[in-house]
Amino acid sequence: MPRAGLDRAAVIAAAAEVADERGFGQLTMGLVAERLGVRTPSLYKHVESLAALRQGLAALAMTELGDALRDATQGYAGRDALAAAARAMRSYLTEHPGRYAVTVGAVVDPELDAAGARVVESLAAVLRGYRIDPAEQTHALRTLRSTLHGFATLQTAHGFQWNADTDQSFEWLIDFLDRGLRRP
Amino acid sequence: MPRAGLDRAAVIAAAAEVADERGFGQLTMGLVAERLGVRTPSLYKHVESLAALRQGLAALAMTELGDALRDATQGYAGRDALAAAARAMRSYLTEHPGRYAVTVGAVVDPELDAAGARVVESLAAVLRGYRIDPAEQTHALRTLRSTLHGFATLQTAHGFQWNADTDQSFEWLIDFLDRGLRRP
DNA sequence: GCTTTTAGCTAACGACATTAGCTGAACCTG
DNA sequence: CAGGTTCAGCTAATGTCGTTAGCTAAAAGC
């Protein structure tokens, strides 16, 4: 019985792969264990429950998204920063649909909150390139986040019913946001 | 053994109540049956499976949302129509969080598609009040839908972390959309 | 080397979805 | 209204999945 050398991070990483490949709904203790070459109950030495595993995965996804946003916007400002952030967010959500889906509907949790705060911080940094009334900062931030989140989730979920180019729509959306944020 | 007089619609309606009250994740055959005063296996005389029940529920939610949008925008145009549609959409999603959650991640299905098309049609009607280049219609439509969907789902999911008034943010968002859609 | 800790395992239980097969209520048909 | 047919809802049983209990041997500490 050679040990597998697992830890909480390894289990969550395997869960992330399962969620991305088979979909959020197929995230099951059995599939995660199988991927790690281990029997199902062994996972409980590293995560308390499936719910906790989902929480951890949600935090991982939010952290990765935050990193992606930070890296993408590094060194840009104004419209360039906005476009970079928007594309980075869409890329992450479409490349890791299962991972991100867990964050929606996840319960309040310090780790997830902290990661979410970093995402918000990156978006706030993008807004700094626009002259926005401090009193409206929060509203603009929420609008930006909602728009990007909504586009990406709608696309990965049903997709938009008709088939006009989605990339083109997204570039139009970036332009729409830029124009709107530029002029109060 | 007096008969309960169920049918597919009654089962889906009960499922909708369960989903709204206990959350999407708690939508279980047992809870639906209990609400109807019936034993679990009896449901299978009316729906083929839990997956099919979810599909039916998704279609119901999308249909209700479409009706709400149609009713709310009736007789309005331009900014008024936009505001009415936005508020109607947010109201529906927040009043029926579980119901709507099922539509995200639902599989392609003729009934859901048709209902979704009616939602899109109502939003397209709103856009008619703005002078939008026909070539950009689809992009504007997707942007509008994404923004409203994103705001409502983010709000009902984690809620926005900080506590500035959400209603106020939403009104700002409506204004943002109106200004953006109006310009050249 | 010897002890202690603990990762991973087998066995077992409970919740839930689903199927098979029964029974009697409702609905026909004459 | 009698007799037959349909079928809604039930009980019993099976399979999957999450979770717990308790064992064993691999690692880690002395």
Predicted confidence (pLDDT) per residue in B86-131, tens digit: 999 999 999 999 999 999 878 889 999 999 999 999 999 999 999 9
Distance A117 CA to D22 C1' (A): 43
The answer to whether A177 touches A144, Cβ cutoff 8 Å, is yes
Identify the pLDDT of residue A104: 87
Q: Would you state the structure tokens that stand for residue A144, as one six-digit string? A: 């930006």
Task: Quote the distance between the C-alpha of residue A33 and its chain's center.
Answer: 24
Separation CA A160–CA A146 (nearest Å) = 17
**Strand D nucleotides below 7 A of a protein CB?**
7-13, 17-22, 24-27
Q: Is the dihedral of CA B158, B161, B167, B172 positive or negative?
A: negative
- The angle that helices A137-156 and B137-156 make with each other, rounded to 10 degrees, is 110
Identify the pLDDT of residue B105: 78
Separation CA A94–CA B96 (nearest Å) = 27
Interface check for B22 against chain A (CB to CB < 8 A): the answer is no
Low-confidence ranges of chain B (pLDDT < 70): 1, 159-163, 184
Separation CA A25–CA A54 (nearest Å) = 11
Phi, psi of B96 (to 5 degrees): -130, 60
The answer to whether A169 touches B143, Cβ cutoff 8 Å, is yes
Reported as a single tens digit per residue, the pLDDT across A138-151 is: 999 999 999 999 99
Identify the pLDDT of residue A184: 56
The answer to whether A75 touches A43, Cβ cutoff 8 Å, is no
Interface check for A139 against chain B (CB to CB < 8 A): the answer is yes
The CATH topology of domain B1-47 is: Arc Repressor Mutant, subunit A (1.10.10)
Superfamily of domain covering B58-182: Tetracycline Repressor, domain 2 (1.10.357.10)
Percent of the residues in chain A that have a pLDDT greater than 90, as a whole number: 88
Closest by CA to B146, choosing from A89, A22, A128, is A89
Nucleotide nearest to A31 (CA to C1'): D17
Identify the pLDDT of residue A5: 84
The answer to whether A106 touches A55, Cβ cutoff 8 Å, is yes
- Has residue A161 got a pLDDT over 80? no
Query: For strand D, is any atom closer than 7 Å to the CB of B14?
Result: no
What architecture (CATH level 2) is domain A57-182?
A: Orthogonal Bundle (1.10)
Contact B143 A172 (CB under 8 A): yes
DSSP string, B59-102: HHHHHHHHHHHHHHHTT--HHHHHHHHHHHHHHHHHHSHHHHHH
Amino acid at B170: F
The answer to whether B115 touches B55, Cβ cutoff 8 Å, is no
Computed on alpha carbons and rounded to an integer, the radius of gyration of chain A in Å comes to 19
The answer to whether A81 touches A129, Cβ cutoff 8 Å, is yes
ipTM, two decimals: 0.91
Identify the pLDDT of residue A163: 67
Interface check for B92 against chain A (CB to CB < 8 A): the answer is no
Sketch the domain layout of chain A as residue ranges: 57-182
